[in-house]
Amino acid sequence: MSNEKTMDNESTMELMARAAGQEAPEAQAAPAAPAPKDKPQYPSVALLTCPNCGQKQFKIIGTKGSLGKAIVGAGMFGAVGNMVMDSRSKENFELLPVKYQCLSCKNKFEALPLVAEDEEVLDTPCTIVFHRLGSPVGMAVSQQVFLNGVKIGSVKNKADLEFQTHTKQNTIFVTDQYGVAFPGEYTFTAENGGFVEINYKRKFL
């Protein structure tokens, strides 16, 4: 009689264990099940390769004169809107193919970002603060900041832009107001819940 409670506890635990045991094989049996439709998709350029030679080292040319059609709205990468904390830019973002030049074969091509693979996605997003340091050259011009091939927003002289990344490997580049990329890009590996500060003054410092 005195161990009745213990028995109850044990049977509850048994039930829970059995329930867990039933779920596990199901999950293992269907590894190729399609991802749920509401699963967020994050842009990534980590696996982008030259369509001509397959190499992964590029010079970023920018979005100017891009032949591809801009995709406007939050349809393709639902999470892109969430990367920008500024609510004004959250509603309407523009996704334009970015022009690259392969450093190996000099082939120029345009590409949209790829959807990040599961193992590339962070459990907790990493926050990025982009500081545009004051520069008397072109100070009136707003610069466009791109994360993983997607325009995050524009940043004025001596201003900051705060956003988040959901992927481990990241590439940031900056263009002028016409979409011409400034030389150089910033690549880094983000950590779960991390915080990255980037200083920029016409180049990454």
Longest dimension (CA), the chain: 85
CA 11 from chain centre, in angstroms, equals 46
Q: Considering only 48-56, 116-124, 127-135, 138-146, which stretch makes contact with Zn ion by CB under 5 A?
A: 48-56
Q: Considering only 42-50, 116-124, 173-181, 191-199, which stretch makes contact with Zn ion by CB under 5 A?
A: 42-50
Question: Which residues, including other chains, have CB under 8 Å from residue 45's CB and lie 6 or more apart?
Answer: 111, 113, 114, 148, 149, 171
Q: CA distances (Å), 157 to each of 22, 104, 132, in order?
A: 58, 35, 6
If one asks whether residue 105 binds Zn ion (CB under 5 A), the answer comes out as: yes
Task: Please say which residue, 53 or 85, places its beta carbon nearer to Zn ion.
Answer: 53
If one asks whether residue 53 binds Zn ion (CB under 5 A), the answer comes out as: yes
Q: Considering only 17-25, 94-102, 167-175, 192-200, which stretch makes contact with Zn ion by CB under 5 A?
A: 94-102
Here's the x/- map for Zn ion, 108-147, by CB under 5 A: it reads as ----------------------------------------
Place of tokens 């509850």: 12
- The alpha helices in the chain, defined as continuous H runs, are 4-29, 80-83, 87-90
If one asks whether residue 98 binds Zn ion (CB under 5 A), the answer comes out as: no
Q: Considering only 16-24, 27-35, 70-78, 100-108, which stretch makes contact with Zn ion by CB under 5 A?
A: 100-108
**What separation, in Å, do the N-terminal and C-terminal C-alpha atoms of the chain show?**
74
* Residue of 104, 124, 187, 192 interacting with Zn ion (CB under 5 A): 104
For residues 180 and 71, what is the distance between their CA atoms, to the nearest angstrom?
19
Q: Contact positions toward Zn ion, by CB under 5 A? A: 50, 52-53, 55, 102, 104-105, 107
